[in-house]
Structure 1
């Protein structure tokens, strides 16, 4: 359920996640170039990922911001602060497990995944990265997981049920696991 988000350039925050340097050896010496990964979000459920490459760091960052704002997607959030359900995703050798958390937990995640969740607007989540520490793969795995989240409204429409039936069932399951 990948939905492109309509974006206006107001209220968007950008976070530089990673800058990598690459060297090309030529006859006269080394030529350096830079790659930048940027995540952009509005803090209300829209997020985008961008990769930019250039000979200067600032140019690479600007390109990445432009790509991130172009590729923003809408993620359904529960109460505007956490995920609707637990989710697992894999991208290349990067695996990620994300779990919704009660209010006041905060963002328990490391590295590039934390930046993605912050600009998205999630306030309470537990995320565990397994496998690679490559920021490209970790962010893409996290974004893949987030785009696979289904809201109760979507599930209710698909099953031809009411939203109350779906949500009450979820609440009963959470009480059973806590006891």
Structure 2
């Protein structure tokens, strides 16, 4: 190698972020000269440690759309409180567009019982035991957004105690 030249090897960055493409759609826009073709990618980004986001990217090629979707997903991350059994602390509901998602915590060993985009969101959030049901629309984007909305509504005992300004022990009092 010549003096002062850098190697062309790409640097390997160890990232704990995972991306999954939920849907890629070919979309067209009618313009003066005819139809303009582009791609829309719905991407779910998560680290399986309680952070997840849904992003949408549009570009004239699939790779560009996926990259934009990943960047958008990282901008819209949500923090998910997980229990010791990698479940959610309480039942939750979320809505996105015409889609509604219902989630319930499950016992250890149950697994992720959910379908479509909701399953992808839950897996990348790091939830291992949960029951979820999509209600209403079957649109993958709206269902993914509804799932993120439901996860965003979750609160822990510590959060509730802090909001109310009482010690956490007082929440357990019967």
TM-score scaled to structure 2, two decimals? 0.84
Give the direction of change, closer, same or farther, for the CA distance of 1:115–1:168 in structure 2 (3 Å limit): farther
Give the direction of change, closer, same or farther, for the CA distance of 1:81–1:137 in structure 2 (3 Å limit): same
Structure 1 residues 95-149: Cα deviation after superposition (integer angstroms, max 9, x where no partner):
1100000000000000001010111000000000011001111111111111010
Greater gyration radius: 2
Asked if the contact 1:44/1:80 (under 8 Å) is kept, the reply is no
Structure 1 residues 73-92: Cα deviation after superposition (integer angstroms, max 9, x where no partner):
21111116110000112222
Structure 1 residues 7-49: Cα deviation after superposition (integer angstroms, max 9, x where no partner):
x982111111111111234576543211001111111101111
Residue 37 of structure 1, aligned match among 39, 42, 46: 42
User: Using the alignment, how far apart are the partners of 1:104 and 1:49 within structure 2?
Assistant: 27
User: Using the alignment, how far apart are the partners of 1:9 and 1:72 within structure 2?
Assistant: 19
Q: How much has 1:161 moved relative to structure 2? A: 3.5
TM-score scaled to structure 1, two decimals? 0.82
Residue 148 of structure 1, aligned match among 127, 149, 153: 153
Structure 1: stretches of 5+ with no match in the other structure: 1-7, 170-179
Asked if the contact 1:82/1:124 (under 8 Å) is kept, the reply is yes
Structure 2: stretches of 5+ with no match in the other structure: 1-12
Name the residue aligned to 2:96: 91
User: Using the alignment, how far apart are the partners of 2:62 and 2:123 within structure 1?
Assistant: 23
Q: Which has the higher helix share?
A: 1
Name the residue aligned to 2:72: 67
Residue 59 of structure 2, aligned match among 45, 49, 54: 54
RMSD: 2.1
